[in-house]
């Protein structure tokens, strides 16, 4: 085990000619390892190789070597020695270690992100998916890495994702969208996704997708919508209940007039055998007039009594809407000696919305005003329609005591009411504000007009804006 030849690098570790190999300036474990390997080569005559870390002493850095040991033969093919060659791969191993640490760090960061993330190549094969994405798929990364959509997902879901990914590959900006995907185990995943791509220096393109799970949010939104629908239904029925008492009067009065005219016509014919043409025309005009009044009342009743939350948006003439809504409850004001003053804009005020829902807002505001002035010496309610800043505006105010500053912040809160117990649900203004927001509008208390003035604003339709500007 004496060293016969050693180059300058080997000499640094104490391997010099005529010196025992085990006398090298390296750690004992390395000596034993090399001694075992060399003895094996000398005995068996086979080549061996491997990798080892060498250090001269505790203060030195470790060096990594790839080594080969092969036998030396004489003319008669007897083994007379062994040759050891080693290549210093320390720089390579350190680079690999740094890369491994960086990879571990990046994967650790990506796996710590709760949002599902995946990376794909141009052939729509997954290159990477973090733990959140693997959880969505219900698979390990090794189960879908280098596989395409079709290998992992149901056909329809595969086609949807492929279409989204293709758009992102072709787009110069990140692509965002809301999507709901189904999987083979039957579960659904709703996300707000963002996809983008980047290109390496060698021309390769990859796509990165981040999926924000909004399944729970969508569920809560659905539940909130159901709750709103129930609240709207309760408020609508409550408003209908308040108005129901006056409906009989609203219809009975014109009905009595119609019956009176019919009896008058009958009596005239029985007495004279005929009726003058002018009087007949007059009677007919009055019959038509009061029949139309009943028709308007019934139309208003049908609008307010049905659920219009799913109705399509249509053009709504605000002046007509106000007139028909007031017609529905006109007799209530007459019975209570409340003066109702309506001021309409000189030009048509046309918005886009759900007729019955906007009518619900007006009826809620008018009923609140009625309750505020009932019993006052000179009860008055004012309604005005106008156009301001490309917006249709309806204002309702009254001659009552107004609304105090203290309760103003609570006015639009659900179930808040200043009315006596058993009168009102506290939902009218809350639901009205929600309907206004659904129409991209607002409902506010406008103190510049009056301490009791509620102002509804809804954007005009486009052609109405043009005609107004002209």
This prediction's pTM: 0.47
d(CA 177, CA 156): 18
Average of pLDDT values for 297-307? 64
Average of pLDDT values for 263-274? 82
Higher pLDDT residue, 317 or 247?
317
Burial of 155 (0-12, 13-18, 19+ CB in 10 A): exposed
Query: Which residue ranges does the chain devote to CATH 3.30.450.20?
Result: 8-88, 95-213
Please report the pLDDT score of residue 468 as a whole number. Answer: 42
d(CA 391, CA 387): 6
**Mean pLDDT lowest among 89-93, 184-188, 385-389:** 184-188
Please report the pLDDT score of residue 467 as a whole number. Answer: 43
Whether pLDDT at 423 is above 70: no
Average of pLDDT values for 322-351? 85
d(CA 349, CA 464): 7
Whether pLDDT at 397 is above 60: yes
CATH number of the structural domain 95-213: 3.30.450.20
Give the DSSP H/E element, type plus range, for residue 231: helix 215-272
Please report the pLDDT score of residue 469 as a whole number. Answer: 36
Compute the radius of gyration of the chain from its Cα atoms. 44
Query: pLDDT tens-digit profile of 338-382?
Result: 999 999 888 999 999 988 888 888 988 998 898 889 889 999 999
The CATH T-level fold of domain 8-88 is Beta-Lactamase (3.30.450)
Q: Can you tell me which residue has the tokens 């391997």?
A: 15
Highest mean pLDDT among 55-64, 206-215, 221-230, 237-246: 206-215
Distance of CA 248 to the CA centre of its chain: 47
Query: pLDDT tens-digit profile of 31-85?
Result: 788 888 888 999 999 999 999 887 765 556 778 889 999 999 999 999 999 999 9
Please report the pLDDT score of residue 351 as a whole number. Answer: 93
d(CA 32, CA 10): 17
Query: Which residue ranges does the chain devote to CATH 3.30.565.10?
Result: 220-469
d(CA 129, CA 110): 9
Please report the pLDDT score of residue 417 as a whole number. Answer: 67
The CATH T-level fold of domain 220-469 is Heat Shock Protein 90 (3.30.565)
Average of pLDDT values for 10-19? 80
**CA dihedral of 281, 284, 285, 287, whole degrees rounded to 10:** 160
CA nearest 362: which of 336, 389, 403, 397? 397
Q: What does DSSP say about strands 63-73 and 79-88: parallel, antiparallel, or unpaired?
A: antiparallel
CA distances to 11, 150, 167, 218, 237 from 157, in Å: 66, 9, 16, 19, 43
Query: pLDDT tens-digit profile of 136-175?
Result: 888 899 999 999 988 888 888 888 888 999 999 988 889 9
């Amino acid at each position: 085990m004496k060293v016969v030849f050693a180059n300058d690098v080997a000499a640094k570790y104490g391997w010099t000619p005529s010196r025992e190999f085990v006398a090298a300036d390296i750690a004992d474990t390395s000596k034993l390892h090399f001694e075992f390997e060399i003895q094996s080569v000398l005995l068996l005559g086979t080549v061996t190789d491997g990798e080892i870390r060498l250090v001269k002493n505790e203060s030195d850095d470790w060096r990594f070597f790839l080594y080969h040991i092969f036998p030396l033969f004489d003319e008669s093919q007897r083994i007379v020695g062994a040759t050891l060659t080693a290549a210093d791969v320390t720089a390579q191993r350190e680079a690999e270690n740094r890369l491994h640490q960086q990879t571990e760090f990046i994967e650790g960061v990506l796996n710590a992100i709760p949002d599902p993330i995946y990376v794909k190549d141009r052939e729509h094969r997954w290159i990477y998916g973090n733990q959140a994405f693997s959880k969505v798929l219900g698979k390990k990364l090794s189960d879908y890495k280098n596989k395409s959509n079709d290998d992992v997902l149901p056909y329809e879901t595969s086609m949807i994702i492929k279409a989204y990914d293709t758009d992102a590959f072709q787009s110069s900006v990140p692509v965002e969208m809301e999507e709901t995907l189904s999987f083979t185990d039957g579960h659904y995943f709703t996300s707000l996704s963002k996809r983008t791509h980047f290109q390496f220096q060698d021309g390769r393109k990859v796509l990165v997708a981040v999926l924000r799970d909004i399944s729970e949010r969508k569920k809560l939104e659905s539940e909130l919508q159901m709750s709103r629908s129930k609240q709207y239904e309760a408020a609508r029925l409550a408003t209908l209940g308040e108005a129901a008492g006056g409906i009989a009067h609203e219809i009975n009065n014109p009905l009595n007039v119609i019956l009176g005219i019919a009896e008058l016509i009958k009596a005239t014919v029985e007495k004279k055998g005929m009726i003058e043409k002018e009087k007949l025309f007059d009677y007919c005009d009055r019959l038509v007039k009061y029949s139309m009044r009943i028709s308007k009342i019934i139309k208003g009743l049908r609008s307010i009594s049905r659920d219009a939350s799913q109705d399509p948006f249509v053009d709504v003439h605000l002046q007509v809407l106000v007139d028909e809504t007031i017609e529905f409850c006109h007799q209530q004001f007459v019975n209570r000696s409340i003066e109702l003053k309506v001021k309409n804009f000189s030009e048509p005020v046309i918005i886009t919305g759900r007729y019955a829902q906007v009518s619900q807002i007006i009826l809620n505001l008018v009923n609140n005003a009625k309750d505020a002035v009932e019993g006052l010496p000179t009860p008055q309610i004012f309604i005005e329609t106008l156009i301001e800043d490309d917006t249709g505006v309806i204002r309702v105010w009254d001659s009552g005591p107004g609304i105090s500053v203290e309760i103003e912040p609570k006015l639009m809160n659900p179930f808040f009411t200043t009315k006596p117990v058993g009168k009102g649900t506290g939902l009218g203004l809350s639901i009205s504000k929600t309907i206004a927001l659904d129409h991209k509008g607002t409902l506010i208390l406008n103190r510049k007009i009056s301490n009791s003035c509620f102002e509804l604003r809804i954007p005009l339709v486009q052609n109405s804006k043009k005609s107004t500007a002209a």
